Copies of this chain bind each other. A is one copy, B any other.
């Protein structure tokens, strides 16, 4: 039985890294309701504009969000596929009741 996420550990690593910052988790929470304009995020998060732009780029590079330009505004939204992949990774745990949970080495 092969590990669940073996095929793309590198990509998942980058996605977890993109989530390893409290400001970016707050961005995720704001985007749960759907697509948001950067100006909305600027108002909601007390971040400087360049810093917010940096965090959004970080999340975009990791594939966590997608962006859309319209006029002079930019809209960001969560990428459901990425989150589904992460959900699969963190969700694939054994039942704690199974006997194979007890190590049998070094006995």
Contacts and interface: CB of A to CB of B under 8 A. Distances in A.
- The count of identical subunits is 2
A83 B73 contact: no
Interface of A: 1, 3-6, 9-10, 12-14, 16-17, 19-22, 25-26, 28-30, 32-37, 39-40, 71, 73, 75, 77-78, 80, 83, 86-87, 89-94, 96, 98, 100-103, 105-106
B35 A102 contact: yes
23 contacts: A4-B29, A4-B32, A9-B26, A9-B29, A10-B22, A13-B20, A13-B21, A13-B22, A17-B21, A20-B20, A32-B94, A33-B94, A34-B101, A35-B103, A37-B103, A37-B106, A40-B103, A40-B105, A73-B106, A83-B90, A83-B91, A87-B91, A90-B90
